[in-house]
Amino acid sequence: MSAPFQPRYQILRTFLFALLLALFGFLGFRSYQHMGSTSSDSTSVYSAPDSNFTHVWTAPSDWRMMYLQSEEKELVVYGRELIAHTSDYLGPKGSVKAISNGMNCQNCHLEAGTKPWGLNYGSVFSTYPKFRERSGSIETIYKRINDCMERSLNGKALDTNSKEIKAIYAYIRWLGEAVPKGKKVRGSGIELIPQLNVAANPKNGLYVYTQYCQKCHGNNGEGLMNKEGNMYEYPPLWGAHSYNDAAGINQLSKLAGFIKNNMPNPVNYHNPTLTTQQAWDVAAYISSHSRPTKDKSKDWPVLATKPFDYPFGPYADTFSVTQHKYGPFEPIQLAKLAKK
């Protein structure tokens, strides 16, 4: 470029550079405003879902933690760590307390409670406190956490003043605080899949288990422990170290729905491996084995509110324990509707 044009070129280059800086600054400011707005998050969460599951709930991104106060952020991060590696802190060799069975919360609440239809925590903060028919009382999130400790982890309740339960609560709140109170988002919890018109078959489930589950969960459902021997890489599905018989996942409809959308790992709801029939049958096979027991005498104080697939009597109907456990469930549900 000739010398007379160099000053003009430099001025133009400087102007364009300044313009780009201003543009990025403006976009950054708008992004900051958006990130700080709960209503913006709520809009994205509550886009009307369609039949292709396009708008299921998704967990907030980690960068949102930068807007938390340092103490709150510390609790949220610790809470997530407790969900992902529960046994490190609270298992048989736990560094904090030895009060659970060696499983991790995320063995059921997949991907630290963030996976769609993987028992995630998306709607927990928005729906608690709430009345639960199992206890016949209003329950808090703290109560819900300790239910998991005592049932799914077959352990002991956390002290409600402990850092651990406060951290788990903070993490659950952070995941779901954009969801309006009373709202349950699509993709949270477990999807209840279509029921069979016959009983689920544990014998057929054995074949499914052998083909798809045995490699990770063991020949006898014992799970696979890590090299350090302090945590399960793949959880036991029955036996002494599994969830006990009072856990919610011990209801066949919940277990079948969980399996259909998530197993074998890393299957998701977009591309399930198992058919609906296979999911029910392998769930029946898993549920046919023994596991630790818990006192359930105070559960479901109103018999008529017991779920159709609750596998323990007494019942407010005349159907057998076996039918309540394996189905078919439609006659039970129709009989219940007829009484209303």
Burial 1-27 (b: 16+ CB within 10 A, else e): eeeeeeeeeeeeeeeeeeeeeeeeeee
Within-domain flag for 16: no
Mean pLDDT of the chain: 88
Predicted confidence at residue 19, as pLDDT, reads 54
| 170 and 298 co-located in one domain | no
* Residue 134: C-alpha distances to residues 7, 51, 138, 214 (Å): 80, 31, 10, 33
Mean pLDDT calculated for residue range 278-294: 98
| 214 and 301 co-located in one domain | yes
Each residue's pLDDT tens digit, 244-269: 999 999 999 999 999 999 999 999 99
Predicted confidence at residue 228, as pLDDT, reads 87
Within-domain flag for 195: no
pLDDT band, residue 17 (cuts 50/70/90): low
* pLDDT of 109 strictly over 70: yes
Within-domain flag for 9: no
Within-domain flag for 45: no
Predicted confidence at residue 44, as pLDDT, reads 32
Within-domain flag for 25: no
Q: Distance between CA 146 and CA 32 in Å, rounded? A: 37
Domain membership of residue 275 as a residue range = 202-339
| 247 and 335 co-located in one domain | yes
| 234 and 314 co-located in one domain | yes
SS3 label, residue 317: coil
* pLDDT of 134 strictly over 80: yes
Q: Is 306 exposed, middle or buried (0-12, 13-18, 19+ CB in 10 A)?
A: buried
Each residue's pLDDT tens digit, 145-184: 999 999 999 999 999 999 999 999 999 999 999 999 999 9
* pLDDT of 31 strictly over 90: no
| 86 and 141 co-located in one domain | yes
* pLDDT of 142 strictly over 70: yes
Choose one of 129, 159, 176: the last residue of a domain. 176
Within-domain flag for 29: no
Predicted confidence at residue 189, as pLDDT, reads 92
* pLDDT of 2 strictly over 90: no
Mean pLDDT calculated for residue range 31-58: 44
Residue 129, preceding peptide bond in cis (omega within 30° of 0): yes
DSSP state of 131: E
Within-domain flag for 14: no
| 249 and 156 co-located in one domain | no
* pLDDT of 29 strictly over 70: no
Predicted confidence at residue 50, as pLDDT, reads 41
pLDDT above 70 as % of the chain: 84
Within-domain flag for 4: no
Q: Six-digit token pair at 8?
A: 């003009």
Q: What is the total count of domains within the chain?
A: 2
* pLDDT of 16 strictly over 60: no
* pLDDT of 43 strictly over 70: no
pLDDT band, residue 124 (cuts 50/70/90): very high
Q: Six-digit token pair at 177?
A: 């605080």
| 221 and 330 co-located in one domain | yes
| 82 and 136 co-located in one domain | yes
Each residue's pLDDT tens digit, 296-322: 999 999 999 999 999 999 999 999 999
CA angle 172, 103, 159 (to 5 degrees): 55
Residues in CB range of 254: below 8 A, 6 or more apart:
190, 192, 248
| 216 and 294 co-located in one domain | yes
Mean pLDDT calculated for residue range 326-335: 98
* pLDDT of 135 strictly over 70: yes
* Residue 67: C-alpha distances to residues 38, 259, 326 (Å): 12, 36, 48
Q: Distance between CA 242 and CA 235 in Å, rounded? A: 7
In this structure, the chain runs to a length of 340
Tell me the CATH number at 312: 1.10.760.10
Query: Could you tell me which residue, 130 or 19, shows the higher pLDDT?
Result: 130
| 249 and 146 co-located in one domain | no
DSSP state of 308: T
Predicted confidence at residue 18, as pLDDT, reads 56
- DSSP codes joined into one string, 135-193: TTEEE-HHHHHHHHHHTTT-S-PPPTTSHHHHHHHHHHHHHHTTSPTT---TT-B---P
| 165 and 231 co-located in one domain | no
| 206 and 297 co-located in one domain | yes
* pLDDT of 9 strictly over 60: no
Mean pLDDT calculated for residue range 203-229: 96
Q: Which range is least confidently modeled, 30-34, 68-72, 91-95?
A: 30-34
Q: Is 267 exposed, middle or buried (0-12, 13-18, 19+ CB in 10 A)?
A: middle
